[in-house]
Amino acid sequence: MQIQVLGYYGGYPADGVGTSAYLVTSGDYHLLMDAGSGSLLALEPILDPLQLDAVLLTHYHHDHTADVGTLQYYWQLRPGDKKEPVLPIYGHTKDH
């Protein structure tokens, strides 16, 4: 298993680094854990976002979820290039 930090700032991106986001890879399985601001830009040089198997949101603060909508839209724009037909996005049922 490999974990790559894509962003680590809290609140807002700074100095060209985004907010919380991590790429977890095991074999050919790729999980995006949190999708903070700037996470897709940091992910693209490493992995095409369409090759993700799932997204896991640890909680729902904006610095962990800012790029979720962008990722969903990116998936809508490129229907034929995906590893999976539907990108699962996992999270908990609590609102805090």
pLDDT, tens digit, 9 for 90 and up, residues 23-66: 999 999 999 999 999 999 999 999 999 999 999 999 999 999 99
Report if residue 95 sits inside a domain: no
Q: Identify the three-state secondary structure at position 39.
A: helix
Q: How confident is the model at residue 78 (pLDDT cuts 50, 70, 90)?
A: confident
What is the model's pLDDT at position 83? 82
Report if residue 85 sits inside a domain: yes
Query: Taking the model in full, what pTM does it have?
Result: 0.92
Using CA atoms, how far apart are residues 59 and 66, in angstroms rounded to an integer? 12
CATH number at residue 82: 3.60.15.10
What is the model's pLDDT at position 23? 98
Q: What is the DSSP string of 1-56?
A: -EEEEEEEESSS-BTTBEESEEEEEETTEEEEEEE-TTHHHHHTTTS-GGG--EEE
Range of the structural domain that residue 76 is part of: 2-90
Report if residue 96 sits inside a domain: no
What is the H or E stretch that residue 25 is in?
strand 21-26
Using CA atoms, how far apart are residues 68 and 89, in angstroms rounded to an integer? 9
Domain count, the chain: 1
